[in-house]
Amino acid sequence: MRFDYYTEEQLQQVHEASLDLLKKVGISTSSERFRALLLDHGCVEKGNRILFTQDVIDKGMKTVPPVFNLHGRNNGPVLEIGKKKGYCQTLVGAPSVIDLESGVRRDCMVQDLADITRLADALENVDIISPLFPRDVPQEIILTMETVVCLRNTSKPLSICVESSRELQFIKELLIAVAGSEEALREKPLATLPVSPVSPLEYGFDPAEALLDVVAAGLPLGVEPCPQMGATGPMSMNGLVAMHNAEILAGVIAAQLYQPGCPLTMSSRATFMDMRSGLGLWAMPEMGMMSAGLNQLGRYYQIPVAPGGYCGSSKVADMQSAYEHLYNALMEGLAGSDIIGSAGSLDNALISCYVMLVVDDELSSVVKRTIKEIKVNADNLAVDVVAEVIENQDNFLGHKHTRKYLRSGELWKPGISQRQTFEKWAQQGQKLEDVAKEKAAYLLATHQSAPLSSEIENEFDKILASAKKALME
């Protein structure tokens, strides 16, 4: 099932507006390597801006691979990025969590990162793990430590957002230690590494250098700007989509000029500012609508897309957070998403919540069921079955066709949603969030991820020591 946000004519208008921005406004960068790369391939410098030409745009866009695989460790899950399967990814970079026992917001700690990762590892419909932002880790080595903790607590693929190239060497070494060799890591990448340029249309030194170094390392890149309507981008939704798309295309083109054919995703994370409070919102409906438009552009370019959809403004795991997350994620799934991020988030992606992650696992299963490719054939149209039941004055309940389709998964099966009779439900009277809390506590008490070998653990210790020496002394 697919949903088009724009008509074909409207899509072309937005596409052309993005190209106009690249050609007439361009980007700024303080990275000499990034600047030289673009100029050497035909871009034009005008003042402190780098303008793209149509030839450069065409050259950069034609080599983007439409599909690549992302792998879990220990022969874990293999995800087909580019097939629009709506893989669910956890929230990245949250500095706070909702404590599972007390329900109180507090700083995120390393133990929370380990526990959230292990919980996500146990949840069937969560596919990719992103690290939180623990506050009890030296900031100089935080990405290195996050990568270690995630690799220890899940066999699912990772997504590690890199702000600069400072720690990239150590992240790569950790991934190589798990993969077995650099060649094995290139063949079966264990993580995507998104970088975040600054809106509007600025590739600062750190994100520009990180982009080039991720590509050089042979790892899948994510191009992940995050503009806000009315603050760092236009107040019109179409204007923000056009600018956001231009920011993404600039990174995509640069990456392909640097290494043609390098795997990457474009991240449609268009947000907006609440003009009454000044808060940056990851809320419905505008975020879902703009992401749907950007996803449609991704389909047009045949570039895998990775929006952040399991998100909203609610501060707790409640009815509001559930309908916000479902709206945004379903809009993005129907418009063609490869990865839908921010699972487990609250308060505009500033808080990670154990309970909400369990709820989002349920919502992810709904989104995947909705966008699953359908087949129409004589058997499932069931004309002969209807005729047979009526002719024999029989019923469908005992028919073999009913048994066949029940057993094949024709009906979605809930995990925590409650469908029992009212009388049975009333015996406990639990709300959805109560059931989700119980499930989170149970999984944390019982689930253990696949362990790493002692050799890999020893290598991790050496890499952490090297990172501390290089970055902290």
**CA 120/CA 114 separation, integer angstroms:** 10
Q: Which residues contact 238 (CB under 8 A, 6 or more apart)?
A: 14, 17, 293
Helix (H) / strand (E) containing 195: strand 191-195
Query: Quick check: 1 pLDDT over 80?
Result: no
Maximal CA-CA distance, the chain: 84
Strands (E), 9-100: 28-29, 44-46, 49-51, 68-71, 78-81, 87-90, 96-98
pLDDT in tens, 176-212: 999 999 999 999 999 999 999 999 999 999 999 999 9
Please tell me the predicted confidence (pLDDT) of residue 269.
87
Contact 103, 115 (CB under 8 A): no
Q: Which residues contact 300 (CB under 8 A, 6 or more apart)?
A: 11, 15
Give domain 68-371's CATH architecture.
Alpha-Beta Barrel (3.20)
Token pair recorded at residue 401:
């066709």
pLDDT in tens, 265-315: 999 888 999 899 998 999 999 999 999 999 999 999 999 999 999 999 999
Nearest CA to 219 out of 245, 248, 250, 195 is that of 195
User: Would you kindly state where each structural domain of the chain is located, as residue ranges?
Assistant: 68-371, 378-407
Length in residues, the chain: 473
